Structure 1
Amino acid sequence: MTRLSRLAASALLAYLLGFLWFAFVPPAPAGAQKTDAIVVLTGGEGRIGRALKMQAKGYSRRIFVAGVDKKVRPREFAAEYGVSGGTMACCVVLDFKSVDTISNASEAAFWIAANKVKSVRLVTSDWHMRRAALELSRIAPNELTIVRDAVPSAPSFETLVLEYNKFLARYVASFAGA
């Protein structure tokens, strides 16, 4: 076996072992830790419900909902999720600008800095959590504490492979400063 073959085999093994970790050891829901705010990324079942449940339990007062479809109106959001008008007015911010994980993190980081938030509960699907937390930690203020609150899900094999590859690409890019 040549040196190049051994290197390729080692890289493939590392990739496969990493994928097994990624697929079979998903992030878990967070405990009862309180934070200054909740950042929830849209796009997966149970995410917004989880964020609102954590708010109702008193773990945080404010919620930033990243990636809301531009067609959704605040009153429609409130009706869909049973949020009172008072809670919407004081405590729920809907972001209509972001369209993907990177822009979710960017818009959330801007809101976090503008509101002097020191800790957030990040709510997203378990399979999405690693990359979402990586993106947010890369761009948010350095002193920000991120509590990872993963929503359990049952992603397809294809979703896991795609997300693992995206996570690896962004992880490597983070070392290159991209």
Structure 2
Amino acid sequence: MFRRTAAFVLLIWLFGFVWFAVALPGPLGPRQTDAAIVLTGSGGRIEQAIAVLKRGQAPRLLVSGVGREVKPREFRVEYKVPPRLMACCITLGYEAFDTRSNAIEAGDWVAAHHARTVRLITADWHMRRAELELRRELPKGVTLYRDAVPSRPSLGTLFLEYHKLLARELTTLWGA
């Protein structure tokens, strides 16, 4: 009986991992949203978020998880953001240090800006857990859209992120 149960659990885990690794979310496309949120981290995220603003697909952007030492001018120069766009439309969030705190910072920002539709921008391998965390913090009635940045994650990155997602899902089920 134990061997069957263990084999069943192992199969579920294996199929879950294969699904996680093969079916990574993709970019959103031209959809218009009230706001965009980008979580700092791997390359291409901030560039994609700024492109969303420049194309007019969202009128404002929160960059969550910016290092405290980064000044707005440095950010603007680094990412070639026009001064007008930086002044009107980009908020640098300095409070977050992990995915959970990104979600708290973003949820507060969405509530303050009364956004009803939000585009979440992060790496494809990070999207599912980031979305799970953010959905827990968003005000009721807010629609969240995935806008994943395609990447080439290593097997190790996928393995680690899959287990972080499983752990977070389990703690959610257990009410933590």
TM over 0.5: yes
Distance of 1:115 and 1:88 partners within structure 2: 17
Distance 1:40 1:162 in 2: 21
- Of the three residues 116, 130, 133, the one matched with 1:132 is 130
Whether the aligned pair in 2 keeps the contact of 1:138 and 1:174 (CA below 8 Å) is: no
Pair 1:173 & 2:171 matched: yes
Query: Normalising by structure 1, what TM-score?
Result: 0.97
Distance 2:140 2:168 in 1: 18
In structure 2, the partner of 1:141 is 139
Secondary structure at the residue paired with 1:127? coil
CA-CA distance at 1:176 after TM superposition: 2.0
| Matching residue's letter, 2:141 | E
| Deviation of 1:54 (Å) | 1.0
1:117 Cα deviation after fit = 1.0
Shift of 1:177: 2.2
Taking the aligned partners of 1:140 and 1:7, their CA distance within structure 2 comes to: 38
Give the one of 93, 106, 109 matched to 2:107. Answer: 109
**Partner Cα distance (1:125, 1:66) in 2:** 14
For 1:6 and 1:133, how far apart are their aligned partners in 2? 34
Instruction: State the alpha-carbon separation in 2 of the partners of residues 87 and 57 from structure 1.
Output: 12
Root mean square deviation of aligned Cα: 0.8
| The one of 49, 52, 68 aligned to 2:47 | 49
Displacement, 1:48? 0.3
Shift of 1:87: 1.3
Unaligned runs of 5+ in 2: none
**1:2-151 mapped onto 2 (5 Å cutoff):** 3-151=1-149
Give the C-alpha shift of residue 58 in structure 1: 0.9
Q: Secondary structure at the match of 1:53?
A: helix
SS at match of 1:121: strand
Q: Percent identity?
A: 51
Q: Which secondary structure state, in structure 1, belongs to the residue aligned with residue 125 of structure 2?
A: helix
> Structure 1 stretches (4+) deviating beyond 4 angstroms?
none
C-alpha displacement of 1:80: 0.7
Deviations 1:11-39 (CA, angstroms, capped at 9, x unpaired): 11100100000011100110211100000
Number of residues of Structure 1 aligned to a counterpart in Structure 2: 176
What is the CA–CA distance in structure 2 between the aligned matches of 1:6 and 1:49, rounded to whole Å?
49
- Looking at structure 1, the residues matched to 113 and 175 of structure 2 have their Cα atoms a distance apart, in angstroms, of 26
With the length of structure 2 as denominator, give the TM-score of the two structures.
0.98
